[in-house]
Amino acid sequence: MSRTPVVVIVGRPNVGKSTLFNRLTRSRRALVHDLPGVTRDRIAGEARRPGGGRVTLVDTGGLLMEDEDRFLPLIRAQAEVAMENADAILFLLDGEAGVIPEDAELANFLRARGVPVVVVVNKADRREVEHQAAEFWALGFGEPVLVSAEHGTGLSELWEALEAVLPPVEAGGDSGDPDDRTEARVSIVGRPNVGKSSLLNRLAGEERALVSEVPGTTRDAVDVVLDVEGFPVRFVDTAGIRRKGRTDRGPEVLSVVIARRQLERAHLCLAVIDVTRGITSQDAHVAGYAWEAGRGVILVFNKWDLVTDREAVRARMEDEVGRKLKFLGHAPRVFLSARTGQGVHRLLPAIRAVHRGMVLDAGTSELNRVLRQAWERHPPPSKGRREAKLFYATQVGSVPPRFVLFTNLTAQPHFSYVRHLENTLREAFGLDGVPIRVMIRGRER
């Protein structure tokens, strides 16, 4: 398989890196806000090259060589890791501000990387920017490209400059978007500070996401793709989801919106719970949101290394699942420590099993055999002397699996009977942790 070229966007805070990232990837993956320092982790997305093929675009946090912000060394480390594998760097600058000392320091930092650098001057739609463009030559990277990330102007010139330093497109290199059966998309969700980013880093085998004791460190959705026995699994670490009304204004609110959007794009989610605190109301809220969105759920009890009496704690967690997460009583449980790696190996088999359930394509004959047996063994109540009959059943969709039963019922059965059929399907097809949608269609007299 040919390698996709990697292009990293670098610049000091608030010059428009995330706006340019979103523009080039034609997405809203990166958080955009007027407050400097909103982006902290590095996030990746795919952009289509004008001549065919793709590049992997990486957005990084705002870089300053000297600052007292507690996150700055972590952000700089993230950017350095991204640039180690880069084929090109887009050095984004503020056209209105011109070249300031921080830009010159950053230029020296980039020059030492030994990676081709394209200077991109943003906000070219503003007055006087074009006249100031000449001063950006002084950075020593050649002719600057003038763009407006906000309005999308200058992008053809940007791609032209990039193509000059990128490897050529290989034949058959653009394979298109992965479908539901060729890649599992897994969203890591939970309330703030339960260890989501630590788990992503453990799975990736590197410091892929910022980890801090400060709640709310993760803002953007950070993803990494792992090859699991030839099957790609895309993990997405998201910001901690809180109840509405419990988030501050500004970036935190936007980050929760992005977290929910990523959850809805996933096949399944890892609902991470701090085992030392047990299942809180916020944990139940997050897991409930995922389940209502039709995502598969695996309950991940983190910080297992801090537990001494494990049998007692495991029993207590089972009891709390039964009381607080009754709707997820069938979901797989994995007890692990993201910090030490203990138990993490149990996660991937559980992910494969839930993903198989989410993309299930049940055979029509087997589906009808299973449901007819359940129906005849325990038929729904019907009005009058008419016997409730099931004519046939069919699967109408997946992610999550959806089924329609055609019957002679003139009214919908009680929800408990629908739940009975869902449990029957779950047991027959191995759908633990998978939401199931069963629709019963009747007919008029």
Task: Report pLDDT digits (tens) over 7-66.
Answer: 989 888 888 888 898 889 876 554 443 434 434 445 777 888 887 888 888 888 777 656
User: In this structure, is residue 177 part of a structural domain?
Assistant: no
* Phi/psi of residue 377, nearest 5 degrees: -70, -35
Q: Whole-model pTM?
A: 0.65
Residue 223 — very low, low, confident or very high, per pLDDT cuts 50/70/90? low
Residue 314 — very low, low, confident or very high, per pLDDT cuts 50/70/90? very high
Say whether both 136 and 189 belong to one domain.
Answer: no
Give pLDDT, residue 240. Answer: 46
- Residue 40 · residue 74 · CB < 8 Å: yes
Kindly state the percentage of the chain with pLDDT values over 70. 77
Say whether both 277 and 327 belong to one domain.
Answer: yes
CA separation for the pair 291, 421 (Å, rounded): 18
Say whether both 133 and 222 belong to one domain.
Answer: no
User: In this structure, is residue 88 part of a structural domain?
Assistant: yes
* Residue 117, strand partner residues: 89
Give pLDDT, residue 214. Answer: 38
H helical segments located in 237-380: 251-265, 281-292, 310-324, 347-358, 364-377
Say whether both 211 and 99 belong to one domain.
Answer: no
Kindly state the percentage of the chain with pLDDT values over 90. 40
User: In this structure, is residue 172 part of a structural domain?
Assistant: no
Could you tell me what percentage of the chain is helix, strand and coil, using 3-state DSSP and rounding each to the nearest 5?
35, 20, 45
Say whether both 340 and 214 belong to one domain.
Answer: yes
Q: How far is CA 244 from the centre of its chain?
A: 20
User: In this structure, is residue 277 part of a structural domain?
Assistant: yes
Residue 275 — very low, low, confident or very high, per pLDDT cuts 50/70/90? very high
Least-confidence region, from 137-146, 164-173, 228-237, 334-343: 164-173
Choose the final residue of a domain: 303, 328, 357.
357
> Residue 273 burial by CB count (10 A; 0-12/13-18/19+): exposed, middle or buried?
buried
Whether the pLDDT of residue 316 is over 90: the answer is yes
Choose the final residue of a domain: 132, 163, 194.
163
User: In this structure, is residue 175 part of a structural domain?
Assistant: no
Mean pLDDT of the chain: 81
b/e burial code for range 116-151 (CB count within 10 A of at least 16 → b): bbbbbbbbbbeeebeeebeebeebebeebbbbbbee
Choose the final residue of a domain: 339, 357, 375.
357
CA separation for the pair 335, 305 (Å, rounded): 10
User: In this structure, is residue 24 part of a structural domain?
Assistant: yes
Say whether both 218 and 195 belong to one domain.
Answer: yes
Say whether both 279 and 397 belong to one domain.
Answer: no
User: In this structure, is residue 64 part of a structural domain?
Assistant: yes
Domain that holds residue 249: 184-357
Say whether both 320 and 426 belong to one domain.
Answer: no
Give pLDDT, residue 239. Answer: 52
CATH code, domain with 418: 3.30.300.20
Say whether both 226 and 343 belong to one domain.
Answer: yes
Give pLDDT, residue 96. Answer: 83
DSSP string, 305-317: GG-SSHHHHHHHH
* Phi/psi of residue 331, nearest 5 degrees: -65, 140
Say whether both 368 and 281 belong to one domain.
Answer: no
Say whether both 313 and 419 belong to one domain.
Answer: no
b/e burial code for range 351-366 (CB count within 10 A of at least 16 → b): bebbbbbbbbebeeee
Between these two residues, 390 and 14, which has the higher pLDDT value?
390
Q: What is the pLDDT of residues 178-216, one digit of tens each?
A: 556 778 889 888 888 888 888 988 887 755 444 334 344
User: In this structure, is residue 322 part of a structural domain?
Assistant: yes
Say whether both 312 and 424 belong to one domain.
Answer: no
- N-terminal to C-terminal alpha carbon distance within the chain: 60
Q: How many domains does the chain have?
A: 3
CATH code, domain with 21: 3.40.50.300
